[in-house]
């Protein structure tokens, strides 16, 4: 019905993304709400949005949406690198809850860009890069590079630039930016996680596991790190380790509800 493999569906169940009931013989019984969520997730993963962002966005939407509010009444789509929800009255990002307004980004850029003079600080260029990610994402990397030129130890600029490079398919360059960010801010669990994702995408499994483990040492509540570690251990045949991480992921998901 959905075009999903059995393995992918079971992966969503193990992660606690959907919680089907059990039949009298232990079979999984999916509600219509579960099917809508699975279909939506599959469609978004096939778009340009990284799978980790799809999981995070839809998990937040599922957590925040009232149980009696059907997902069929919402339009969930990909816009660039973001998941956007529309209920007929407003549009918002489910990850942050930020409401989106319709206006021409070019008009805003034309009025604000002259304020970004050459004498601005690294933090100014970083903040400008964050704004550009929403309004003109192709120009954001240049703003982050300007911040780094002024302050080579600007961890946040390295991290955001790394994320943009990763999403653009320049994964090796992204790894370098994440390592530079960790060099400037070695206790940043999110950067360690981002590094793990990039290394995993490059097939450097051992290094990816090390990065995820470092992220969990810094922040044991980082649920997605448990999920990704569970996947890597499962593929390597380490079933016990995989089950421990999937269990931790589900436990953290329940606590956040």
What confidence score (pLDDT) does residue 88 get?
Answer: 59
Query: Is the dihedral angle over the CA atoms 154, 160, 162, 168 positive or is it negative?
Result: negative
Q: Which two tokens stand for residue 168?
A: 């653009």
C-beta separation of 236 from 206 below 8 A = no
Residues contacting 160, CB < 8 A, separation 6+: 126, 129, 130, 133, 140, 144
What 179-183 contacts at long range (C-beta under 8 Å, 24+ apart), as own/partner pairs, is: 180/152, 181/155, 181/156, 182/155, 183/153
pLDDT band, very low/low/confident/very high, at 71 (cuts 50, 70, 90): low
Strand pairing report for 91-92 and 75-79: unpaired
Contact 69, 94 (CB under 8 A): no
Task: Give the pLDDT confidence score for residue 111 in this predicted structure.
Answer: 44
Q: Which domains does the chain have, with CATH numbers?
A: 6-100 (no CATH), 105-255 (1.25.40.10)
pLDDT tens, residue by residue, 30-52: 887 777 777 777 777 677 677 66
Which residue from 125, 123, 82, 74 is spatially nearest to 100, judged by alpha carbons?
Answer: 82
Q: What element of type H or E holds 21?
A: strand 21-22
- pLDDT tens sequence across 179-218: 999 999 999 999 999 999 999 999 999 999 999 999 999 9
């Amino acid at each position: 019905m959905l075009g999903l493999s059995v393995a992918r569906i079971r992966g969503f169940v193990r992660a606690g993304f959907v919680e089907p009931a059990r039949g009298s013989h232990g079979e999984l019984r999916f509600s219509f709400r579960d099917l809508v969520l699975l279909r939506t997730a599959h469609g978004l993963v096939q778009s340009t949005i990284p799978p980790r962002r799809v999981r995070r966005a839809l998990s937040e939407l599922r957590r925040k949406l009232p149980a009696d509010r059907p997902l069929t009444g919402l339009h969930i789509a990909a816009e660039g690198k973001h998941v956007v929800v529309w209920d007929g009255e407003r549009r918002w990002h489910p990850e942050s809850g930020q409401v989106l307004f319709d206006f021409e980004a070019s008009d805003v850029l034309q009025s604000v860009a002259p304020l970004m003079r050459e004498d601005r600080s690294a933090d100014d260029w970083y903040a400008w890069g964050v704004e550009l990610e929403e309004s003109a994402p192709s120009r954001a990397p240049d703003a982050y590079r300007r911040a780094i030129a002024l302050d080579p130890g600007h961890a946040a600029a390295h991290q955001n630039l790394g994320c943009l490079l990763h999403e653009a398919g320049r994964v090796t360059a992204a790894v370098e930016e994440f390592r530079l960010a960790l060099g400037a801010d070695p206790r940043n669990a999110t950067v360690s996680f981002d590094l793990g994702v990039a290394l995993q995408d490059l097939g450097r499994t051992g290094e990816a596991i090390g990065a995820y483990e470092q992220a969990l040492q810094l922040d044991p509540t980082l649920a997605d790190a448990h999920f990704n570690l569970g996947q890597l251990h499962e593929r390597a045949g380490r079933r016990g380790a995989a089950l421990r991480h999937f269990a931790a992921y589900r436990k953290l998901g329940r606590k956040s509800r």
